Amino acid sequence: MTKIETGLVLEIKDLNKSFGALKATDGVSLTLNSGEIHALIGPNGAGKSTLIKQICGGLASDSGSVVFCGQDMAGLDVAERAQLGLGRTFQISSVILEFSALRNVMLAVQANEGTSYRFFKSVRKDQILVGRAMSILRQVELDGRENVSAAELSHGERRQLEIALALALEPKAFLLDEPMAGLGPDGSKRLIAFLDELRHEAPILLIEHDMDAVFALADRISVLVYGRIVASGSVEEVRNDPHVREAYLGETA
């Protein structure tokens, strides 16, 4: 029996990372199962982004392992992990502002499918790319806006476009580092509704400061403080954990 059948998509085991004397990731273990949103919360500097970089391969770990869909990621770089479906998403730099929404998504689809179109004539190839890109734009509710340049999209729409670029890569897990950042109330509300559906596409490891979003979305929450997971459980369990309230929410129990 494979791990995928049991629902285990990503397994982080005893991961460590130091920057000089600073232990940024200190023995972190966590799992991500199919269909779930696992939120990772913690104060600034807790090591959340460092952990995401270790998982996606952007930062080498001192020790520990990342097992994705049953495969040990040791020795694989960012591009190789992304190709397998484990990629950090919401890299704003990947949106080309001068290009239309459609063209941005077409480029992502083409990048993902690599050379698989090489036997088609270019006109046919464009039709296939447009078709696939439009279906992704419909999925993120940007159809009707496909010819608008990314620069002219609203902030919320640009976030939807970033999700479209992520979807084009057909990930088997989403690693989202603060997707709500900079969104107003309406944008946040739309993104929450969208992420709620997105978990069925692939499970989400969600780093987020917006606690309303975390409490609305998370199946499980892990709390990171000084590189260590100090609590992990359901929304209810973590909310009521006295250590969390003290160390993270800044309350006395």
Contact positions toward ligand ADP, by CB under 6 A?
Answer: 19, 22, 24, 42, 44-50
220 binds, among Mg ion, ligand ADP, none (CB under 5 to 8 A by kind): none
Cα–Cα distance list, 52 to 57, 172, 204 (Å): 8, 15, 12
Q: Minimum Å distance from CB 208 to ligand ADP?
A: 11
Of the candidates 31, 18, 91, the residue with the CA atom closest to the CA atom of residue 66: 31
Q: x/- binding map, residues 45-84, to Mg ion, per CB under 5 A?
A: ---xx-----------------------------------
Nearer to ligand ADP, 50 or 160 (CB): 50
Q: Minimum Å distance from CB 125 to ligand ADP?
A: 41
Nearer to ligand ADP, 168 or 218 (CB): 218
179 binds, among ligand ADP, Mg ion, none (CB under 5 to 8 A by kind): none
Nearer to ligand ADP, 24 or 229 (CB): 24
Beta bridge partners of 40: 207, 222
209: contact with Mg ion by CB under 5 A: no
Nearer to ligand ADP, 42 or 57 (CB): 42
Q: Minimum Å distance from CB 180 to Mg ion?
A: 13
Nearer to ligand ADP, 25 or 110 (CB): 25
Nearer to ligand ADP, 19 or 120 (CB): 19
d(CA 157, CA 75): 36
Q: x/- binding map, residues 20-49, to Mg ion, per CB under 5 A?
A: ----------------------------xx
**Could you tell me the sign of the dihedral formed by the alpha carbons of 74, 78, 84, 86, in that order?**
positive
Q: Minimum Å distance from CB 48 to Mg ion?
A: 5
Q: Minimum Å distance from CB 108 to Mg ion?
A: 24
- Contact residues toward Mg ion (CB under 5 A) are 48-49
